[in-house]
Amino acid sequence: RPYVVGLTGGIGSGKTAVSDKFAELGIDIIDADIIARQVVEPGTPALKAITEHFGAAVIDADGRLDRAALRQRIFSDEQRRQWLNKLLHPAIRLAMQEAIHQSRSPYCILAVPLLIENGLDGMVNRVLVVDCPEHIQLERALARDGSTEQTIRGIMASQASREQRLAKADDVIDNSGPLSAIAPQVLKLHQAYIEFSARL
Ligand code: ATP
């Protein structure tokens, strides 16, 4: 059974910058965002169930899930949202477990933006939080996305707070400094994780 490190952090905190460094060290990265898209690809049981529940209007001309159309249908409809979560969350969890099982690196990283919010911290051996002050998160997300400050602030408000996340952290990468400060922190954790996984 592979040793699993859950990597999380708020919008713009630097999760991708950090997971890129682990990948350079040969560590398998399992990305929850990619898995969440894979479970609703054409031909999947989840997409079939969604089509039956919401109608063909949520499928685009290529037979793919029209996320904007689906979002409109669950927006401000708590029952529909719950139905969708009850379908997707177990499917995503199962696909993550399969990916973990396939991993052959000394340990693997499960990158999940909403690890704590969705209670997935029970799936991992260790929680690694990428942390920086909220004003820096906002600044970096703004520079990257071209979204408005209001949109980013809305997303931040819907996510766990910095304090909630840090309370669940076994390890923290401080990403308040320059990009060059990430690699040495990753290397130190990498060495620790190899030891932990060998003891498992
Ligand atoms: P999201 O969950 O919003 O996709 P993320 O946590 O994966 O974000 P990144 O994409 O890694 O965050 O970083 C957000 C932006 O900030 C990117 O444009 C990235 O290049 C930049 N960035 C990350 N870390 C630093 C840093 N230490 N100094 C300067 N810019 C940084």
pLDDT of residue 91: 97
Please write the tens of the pLDDT for every residue from 142-188: 999 889 999 999 999 999 999 999 999 999 999 999 999 999 999 99
Q: Look at the chain and report how many structural domains it folds into.
A: 2
79, 126: one domain:
no
Specify whether the CB–CB gap between 30 and 171 falls below 8 A: no
Nearest atom within ligand 1 for CA of residue 145: 18
115, 87: one domain:
no
Q: Which domain holds residue 133?
A: 1-27+106-200
Long-range contacts (CB closer than 8 Å, 24 or more residues apart) made by 97-105? 97/123, 99/30, 99/35, 100/2, 100/4, 100/30, 101/2, 103/2, 103/28, 103/30, 104/28, 105/2, 105/26, 105/27, 105/28
197, 129: one domain:
yes
pLDDT of residue 187: 98
Conformational region of residue 42, where left means phi above 0, alpha means psi within -120 to 50, and beta covers everything else? beta
120, 150: one domain:
yes
Report, as ranges of residue numbers, the positions in the chain whose pLDDT lies below 50: none
pLDDT of residue 103: 97
116, 142: one domain:
yes
Domain boundary among 74, 89, 104: 104
Task: Decide if the complex's ipTM is over 0.90.
Answer: yes
What is the pTM (predicted TM-score) of this model? Answer: 0.94
CATH number of the CATH domain containing 114: 3.40.50.300
pLDDT of residue 145: 83
Ligand 1 mean position, distance from CA 41 (Å): 27
Pocket lined around ligand 1, Cβ cut-off 6 Å: 9, 11-17, 113, 140-141, 144, 175, 178-179
Nearest atom within ligand 1 for CA of residue 179: 27
- Alpha-carbon distance of 80 to 104, in angstroms, equals 38
